[in-house]
Amino acid sequence: MKKNPNPSMNPQIWVSVLVLLASFTVVHLVYVGVIHPNATAAMVAYGSEAQKNIWVILKDPEQQICISLMFYCLFLMGYKLVKLIDEEAIYTQDFLAAHDKSAALDLQAALTELESSSYRENPAMATWINCIRRFKNTGNVQHAADAIESSVDSLAASLESGNSMIKYITWAVPSIGFIGTVRGIGSALSSADKAISGGDITGMVEYLGVAFNSTLVGIFISLILMFLLHLLNGRQDEMVLKTKDSCERHLLAHLHE
């Protein structure tokens, strides 16, 4: 087997930080070089009608932050998906295929073999190790089956807790959009006197555009992320079920009272 230096489904912290910084940096460069110039040109050309222009809708800092977080979140979900696909065979294989299932299993030899593997910290193999240890101590297959159940439940809980950052970003994105809404409405109200006294509503319309556009972009991005998170959760649940089924079909077949 190849070396598995990172059994976790999450990227290492330094990788996450670098990707987060890269996401904000690249999006900022795109805003400076593309979005801001096009938004300015649209506002000059179309006036208040420019609020419908895609560049104007995206131009404010709240939208920039939301898009940056979206790309970072996509990286986290993509990393998890790649790990799931890459290790799917590990979660469903018979680690003791070389041992005869009809004969009594040498428990100590099996434990030594599994614990010396580079995949010993992988949740699937850790389940096998815990189960064989339980059977070695109790000599009871039912107790070994209970160990599988508890290990699989721990795997499911670990996968769920590993999605906490993705869930936070999915919640934070529309909240950042609402911040833009509050900022835009506050700025619009501050220019209301000018609009009433001078009849110039250009500034007020622009600020209201900020309010509605930030919410629009934030909610739209949140909907995309929630859908992708739903697909990821489905794939993780499938892996948990495959792990349990594999243990029951392969591991318990090696154990004889």
pLDDT digits (tens, 9 = 90+) for 73-132: 999 999 999 988 887 777 777 788 777 777 777 788 888 888 887 777 777 788 888 888
CA distance 46 to 30: 23
- pLDDT of amino acid 123: 77
Mean pLDDT of the chain: 82
Task: Reply yes or no on whether the pLDDT at 70 is more than 60.
Answer: yes
| Range of weakest confidence among 74-78, 137-141, 171-175 | 137-141
- pLDDT of amino acid 257: 57
Task: Reply yes or no on whether the pLDDT at 141 is more than 60.
Answer: yes
Q: CB–CB of 152/240 below 8 Å?
A: yes
What percent of the chain has a predicted confidence (pLDDT) above 90?
30
Residue 199: how many other CB atoms lie within 10 Å: 7
Name the pTM for this structure: 0.81
Q: CB–CB of 87/6 below 8 Å?
A: no
125: burial class by Cβ within 10 Å (0-12, 13-18, 19+)? buried
Residue 18: how many other CB atoms lie within 10 Å: 12
Task: Reply yes or no on whether the pLDDT at 1 is more than 60.
Answer: no
Task: Reply yes or no on whether the pLDDT at 211 is more than 50.
Answer: yes
In the structure, what pLDDT confidence band is assigned to residue 134 with cuts at 50, 70 and 90?
confident
- pLDDT of amino acid 115: 84
Task: Reply yes or no on whether the pLDDT at 204 is more than 70.
Answer: no
Sign of CA dihedral 112, 117, 122, 128: negative
- pLDDT of amino acid 2: 44
> Dihedral through CA 164, CA 169, CA 175, CA 177, nearest 10?
-170
Task: Reply yes or no on whether the pLDDT at 135 is more than 60.
Answer: yes
pLDDT digits (tens, 9 = 90+) for 2-48: 444 455 678 889 999 999 999 999 999 999 999 999 988 887 787 66
Type of residue numbered 65: I
- pLDDT of amino acid 208: 62
